[in-house]
Homo-oligomer: A and B are copies of this chain.
Amino acid sequence: MKDDKISRSVIKRLPRYYRILTDLEKAGMDRISSKELSIRLSVTASQIRQDLNCFGGFGQQGYGYNISDLRKEIASILGIGDVAKTILIGAGNLGRAIATHVPFTDLGFELIGIYDSDTLFSGLRIKNLPISSMDSLPEFCQENQPQTAILCIPDKSAPEIVSLLMQLGIRSFWNFTHYDIASNFPTAIVENVNLSDSLMTLSYLHKYGDTKL
């Protein structure tokens, strides 16, 4: 990588680039002008160039971009292809929806275990994985060394469970709770999904009718 201080806003755009390039490749396109790509991605051609330059740059003057190559490069930048073993904690409505809805394999993650503290769920299966009791988690982690955990648990359980998971060697968290993991565990790698905050953002946009923010 050319520069290791990539801003979070660049990183946040790459998944969309990857997704749209995947669609273009599936549609049978092999190359694309920077102007056409910028229309597809809804950003300016100069923004794309600037974003890709953070990683060394990929376009050729007068040729544009080779879709398959660019997609592969972005996949590699995003770490798609290295498979991260992942466990899901919390098998309530949200956990079940995440387990069934998200295409983990396509995104470089392998869901290898589902855990819930409620023994009511024990023995049930989601996507062919059994829901296991939290008691069996330490042994499972020792044997299988998952690196990533998805947290679909109540906020109040989060401090204790994150602390346990860190001890068990989990490094990164896809966090659906409101618990501020990053402040409490500075070495943790965290991506938060805060559905309530997202809906409040819509509330604001709706109130002020501003579609251009």
Chain A residues in the interface with B (C-beta under 8 A): 1, 4, 6-8, 11-12, 14-16, 18-19, 42, 77-80, 82, 84, 92-94, 96-98, 100-104, 106-109, 147-148, 171-174, 178, 180, 182-183, 186-191, 193-211, 213
Q: Which of A92, A94, A201, A204 has its CB near the most chain B CB atoms (within 10 A)?
A: A204
Question: Per a CB cutoff under 8 Å, which of B84, B187, B202 touches A203?
Answer: B84
Chain B's nearest CB lies how many Å from the CB of A99?
Answer: 8
Known: A84-B203, A206-B147. A191 touches B198 (CB 8 A): yes
Question: Copies per complex?
Answer: 2
Contact: B193 with A195, CB < 8 Å?
yes
Chain B residues lying within 8 Å of A203, measured Cβ to Cβ, are 78-80, 84, 107-109
CA of A106 to CA of B14, assembled, Å: 33
Nearest 4 CB-CB pairings of A with B: A79-B207, A97-B97, A15-B200, A15-B197
